[in-house]
C-alpha cells in the first residue's frame, strides 16, 4: 500500500465522525490498543520537546524503510502521534520527506487540539522527517 493509500484510508476512518469529540474519542480508543515503548526507549533522545505530555517517538530503519513508534503518558497525545507514525512507517525516507500530514487538518483533528498538543504534533512530524533525512544522507 502506498503512503497516499494509507493517508486516504486514515481519512476514510476519521471523516465519518461528524462530531469532533467522537473523532478524538476514536483516536484515544485506537491508542489504547497500541503497544507502548519499552522503558529503555523513553529517554531524552526520543522525547518530543514542546509538548505538555511526555511523548516519545522511537525510529528504526530496516531494508530501506523507516519505522516509527510513539508512546505518551496522555492517550490523546499517543493517539495523534501514532496516526503520524502509522502513516510514515514502512515508507522510504524520500517518500516521508515529501508527504505532509495535511490530512489531520482535513479531518478535523488539529483544529480541536490545544496549542501545546499541536506543538507536540509538529514536533513528531519534525522528528520523523529529520530521521528520514538522516537516512537519505547516510546513503549518499
Does 140 score more than 70 pLDDT? Answer: no
Please, which residues have CB within 8 angstroms of residue 29's CB and are 6 or more apart in sequence? none
71's CB contacts (< 8 A; 6+ apart) are: 36, 37, 41, 42, 55, 56, 58, 78
57-68: per-residue pLDDT in tens? 999 999 999 999
Domain boundaries, the chain: 3-138
CA 125 – CA 106 distance, rounded (Å): 16
Q: Which residues pair with 71 in a beta bridge?
A: 56
Instruction: Name the band, by pLDDT with cuts 50, 70 and 90, for residue 48.
Output: very high
The answer, yes or no, to whether residue 8 has pLDDT greater than 80, is yes
Most confident of the ranges 8-12, 76-80, 88-92, 102-106: 88-92
Portion of the chain with pLDDT greater than 70, in percent = 99
What percentage of the chain exceeds 90 in pLDDT? 61
Q: Spot the catalytic one: 51, 104, 107, 132.
A: 51
In this predicted model, which residue has the larger pLDDT, 27 or 108?
27
Cell numbers found for residue 43: 529517554
Q: What is the CATH number that goes with domain 3-138? A: 3.90.1010.10
pTM: 0.91
Task: Check if 51 is active-site.
Answer: yes
Amino acid at each position: 500500500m502506498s503512503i497516499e493509500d494509507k493517508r486516504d484510508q486514515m481519512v476514510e476512518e476519521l471523516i465519518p465522525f461528524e462530531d469532533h469529540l467522537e473523532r478524538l474519542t476514536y483516536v484515544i480508543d485506537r491508542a489504547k490498543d497500541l503497544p507502548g515503548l519499552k522503558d529503555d526507549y523513553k529517554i531524552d533522545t526520543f522525547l518530543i520537546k514542546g509538548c505538555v505530555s511526555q511523548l516519545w517517538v522511537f525510529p528504526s530503519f530496516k531494508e530501506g524503510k523507516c519505522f516509527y513508534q510513539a508512546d505518551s503518558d496522555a492517550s490523546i497525545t499517543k493517539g495523534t502521534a501514532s496516526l503520524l507514525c502509522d502513516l510514515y512507517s514502512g515508507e522510504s525516507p524520500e517518500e516521508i520527506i515529501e508527504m505532509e500530514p495535511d490530512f489531520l487538518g482535513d479531518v478535523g483533528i488539529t483544529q480541536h487540539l490545544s496549542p501545546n498538543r499541536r506543538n507536540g504534533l509538529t514536533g513528531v512530524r519534525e522528528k520523523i522527517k529529520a530521521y528520514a533525512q538522516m537516512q537519505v544522507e547516510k546513503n549518499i
